[in-house]
Each structure stands twice: as C-alpha cells, then as structure tokens.
Amino acid sequence: MENISIKNTEDANYIINPKKFVLWLLIVASVMLFAGFTSAYIVRRGEGNWEIFNLPSLFAWNTIFVLLSSLTMQLSVWAQKNNRLSQAKLLLGLTLAFGLTFCYVQVLAWGQLTADNVFFAFSNPSNSFVYVISGVHLFHVLGGVIFVLIQFIQSLRNKLESGNLLYTGMCATYWHFVGILWIYLYLFLYLYR
C-alpha cells in the first residue's frame, strides 16, 4: 500500500521547529528566574537593613558592548540571508569579541565593587543581590558566547548557507534576549539601589 501525505500549507505556518520551541522554553524559564530575583530584591529592600552603593561604572560600558553585539549579530543574520557569507563571518566574529569583552568587563566590574567594599555577604543582602543577579546573567551570556562560537566555527568551515537560517536565527534570538535582559537588569539595579 502506498503512503499518501497531504500537506496543508496554511497549517504549516503554525508549526514551530522543535529546537526553536525548546529555545523559547529556555527564554521563558530565564524570564521567570530573573522576575523572581527582581521581585525578591524589591521585597527584601522594603524590609530595611539595605545598604545603598554606587554600581560599577563598568556596568554602563557593558551595556554599550551588549548593544554593539546585538547590532553585529543582527547584521550577521541579514548578511547570511542575503548570501554575503564572508560578511556574516566577520560580523559573527565581532559579536563573539563583544560577548567575550562583556564577560571580561563583568569580572572587572566585580573588582570595582570589592574595591568599594561591596562584597558578597549574607550580612547585607543588597550587596549579595547585585552579585547574584549579575552573576546569573553572566552565566546566560556565557551560554550565548558558546552558541555564537559554534556558529562562528561553522562560518570558518564555510557551512553557513543563505537558505538555512535555523541555527543562526536561534543564536540571534538568544543573543538579543540576553542583551535585552542585561539592559533591563542594569536599569533595574540603577533605579532601585
């Protein structure tokens, strides 16, 4: 007996790739995690025993690196889509460089905090919240850096194709997410010190 398959093109628009679905589940879980952190921060701040201190100036620089990396990532997607693969490769390399710079500057920012006598300590939760929130975000950025690195290696092996944007698109989605998340966290910490 012959297999017959009927494809309804209208329904095909509503099917999501399972890998993209898992990525979106990860993003939703991360949003919930950071919503929990910021909610706990607000509640604990209202209970008193809260030390107000200046955020490291390097946090502002990291915001610039996040914006630049998001721009280069999006330009890379557009370049790959338009079959400008050497340009996509260069832009992926720049995105990777900005991501690694973000990670390095984050560690330097923690050094600024300790130089200002702001330590991760259970005696004052305001200090600990800054380290936990920025540290968990850094973990997410490192995941993104690994994803960008994999795409960059694929580009060096000439395995990017203009017709196959699945992984590049997923990488860009996640990268934009960690960028938007950083901007939110930076503004949150800055406004609710």
pLDDT in tens, 54-96: 999 999 999 999 999 999 999 999 999 999 999 999 999 999 9
DSSP state of 153: H
pLDDT digits (tens, 9 = 90+) for 172-191: 999 999 999 999 999 999 99
C-alpha to C-alpha distances, 177 to 5, 43, 88, 170, 186, nearest whole angstrom: 38, 25, 20, 11, 14
Q: How confident is residue 192, by pLDDT bands cut at 50, 70 and 90? A: confident
Q: Is the dihedral of CA 110, 122, 53, 37 positive or negative?
A: positive
| Domains, the chain, ordered by start | 9-191 (1.20.120.80)
Q: Which residue has the higher pLDDT, 2 or 18?
A: 18
Asked whether residue 22 carries a pLDDT value surpassing 90, the answer given is yes
Looking up tokens 């995105």, which residue turns up?
95
